[in-house]
Amino acid sequence: MQYIQYHPQIIEELKMNETKSLFQSVEVSLIKLFEDKDLFKEIILLYNHKKKELVQQQVHFGLNSLIIENKYILLCKCYYEMRYTKLKQNEGFYIIILHNSKGKEFLIISNSNQFSKIQAVIKRFCLSKSFLSKYQLFEQRNCIPFAQNCKNQELYCVLQLDKKQIITESDQEQFYNSIIIMNYISEQTKIVKIYEENSMYILFMKYMKMQSLESLILNDFEFREAPLVCIIYLILQTLQKYKNLGIYHGNVSLKSIFINMSGAFLQIIILFPKYLMNNNKNSSLDLLNLGQLLYQITFYEKNDKIKQFVDQKLITQQRQLLQNMNTENKQFQFLYRISQLDLLNQLLSQSITIENALKHQWFITVKQNLKAEFLKETKERLDLHTIVESNNELSMTISLDKRISTKEFAEYEIEDEFPVKCSILNPFQMNPSKQKHDNCIPKSKSFSNFDLRFENKEKYFANEQSLFIQ
């Protein structure tokens, strides 16, 4: 690197010796948990604030962080400047300046390919300005708004956070932690760019039509049992991922859980985690919040407000009514069976672990019902196939049991695991009616994938009267 010999001139010109370092210990940060998510490593020049000189070092560029040895910078706390400089007759080089109210860091890069890689990371994770001059914001009915790039027309989902809600140090820690966690937890929650305006933070995500569970309920969407079971199960799987990382979500609610309305498969996205380090909260809080969410769905009454308080007497009363075989539940359309109330009670009392919740009888019962439905549908399909293609009565006597034992039927084997392991066809693309929503039957070769299909494929997508905008 030929420009090393000119480093006194660079240091003086940029007044590097008047600044403080932004690096802090990685041992006491959330970044420590996610070190395995390095994007790449590069050897570049950094200004060393102690030695007062430029030093060649290996830098790890990770998800929202820049790490050297046991220290890091959280990029979403920083603004950036980039410039290209030449000294006398020597080759030029790039300077990236990271800064905020606490200090500055200087990255010196000579290789253009190296600079391009680093530049992409800095622009993605650091704070940018001038959102309104680069993007046009569009509101979507019932869904998260989106932004369109004025130049290349690219679309992004945008999360808008009011700065007035981020005042205390705890608020700030939760805000920065939420960005770190969402970048790490899944592809769907990754933040691809961050803008700061006068009163707002604007977080860019991959474009999807996302509608919250709260919005779905308030717009009278009718949750049938199978999709509702899938949603609760998928939430539990996500919470298990949080727990395995040694963290909790802290903000599980109807407002923070979204459905990808444009996806072919049912996909939930849990946003806005509120995680603080070094406190006594854990995954039990998430299970309690999930219990409150399930209570709000289970006991929602059409044209009513969402219940904000849990009435244990109501749960007990409805359990007793369901135990009476002659009584049909007509008041609460999203209450299906006693095992649903049993899981609800255990979540609210925090007397169940995530692992045991995933094995709960409610899920097992729905799985068994879907298996029976699947076999019935398959038998009808095979019987029809037999009648159409048979040339004599003898071929019509082939039983379903014999068919199951043949290679022809092997593709329909059902695994023992609960089927909501991957994804199901998205029931939220349908009109909100019981008849359409009830027509779900298993389709996949492996039930561990739990692909559900609906009869009458032309009904998958909402018509003009649908409350969903396609």
Sign of torsion over alpha carbons 325, 326, 327, 330: positive
**Higher pLDDT among residues 87 and 229, named by residue:** 229
Closest C-alpha to 430, from 399, 465, 402: 465
pLDDT of residue 444: 32
- What digits encode the pLDDT tens for the residues 126-174? 999 999 999 999 998 889 999 999 999 999 999 999 999 999 999 999 9
pLDDT of residue 368: 83
Angle at which helices 283-298 and 338-348 cross, to 10°: 140
**Higher pLDDT among residues 271 and 301, named by residue:** 271
Instruction: Map residue 168 onto helix, strand or coil.
Output: coil
- What digits encode the pLDDT tens for the residues 60-119? 998 889 999 889 999 999 999 999 887 665 678 899 999 999 999 999 998 899 999 999
Least confident stretch, 183-197, 311-325, 391-405, 448-462: 448-462
Q: Residue 163 is encoded by which pair of tokens?
A: 């700065």
Tokens 């949750």 belong to: 223
- What digits encode the pLDDT tens for the residues 439-462? 433 333 332 333 333 333 233 222
Cα 252 to Cα 456: distance, rounded to the nearest angstrom? 35
Extended beta strands in 101-251, E state: 103-109, 127-128, 135-140, 143-149, 155-162, 191-196, 200-206, 210-212
pLDDT of residue 262: 84
Cα 16 to Cα 99: distance, rounded to the nearest angstrom? 12
User: Do residues 115 and 53 lie in contact, with contact meaning Cβ atoms separated by under 8 Å?
Assistant: no
Sign of torsion over alpha carbons 428, 429, 431, 433: negative
Instruction: Please determine, for residue 465, whether its predicted confidence score (pLDDT) is greater than 50.
Output: no
Instruction: Map residue 163 onto helix, strand or coil.
Output: helix
Burial class (CB in 10 A: 0-12, 13-18, 19+), 242: buried
pLDDT of residue 328: 66
Cα 274 to Cα 435: distance, rounded to the nearest angstrom? 39
pLDDT of residue 327: 64
Instruction: Please determine, for residue 266, whether its predicted confidence score (pLDDT) is greater than 90.
Output: no
Cα 466 to Cα 295: distance, rounded to the nearest angstrom? 26
User: Do residues 192 and 203 lie in contact, with contact meaning Cβ atoms separated by under 8 Å?
Assistant: no
DSSP conformational letter for 425: B
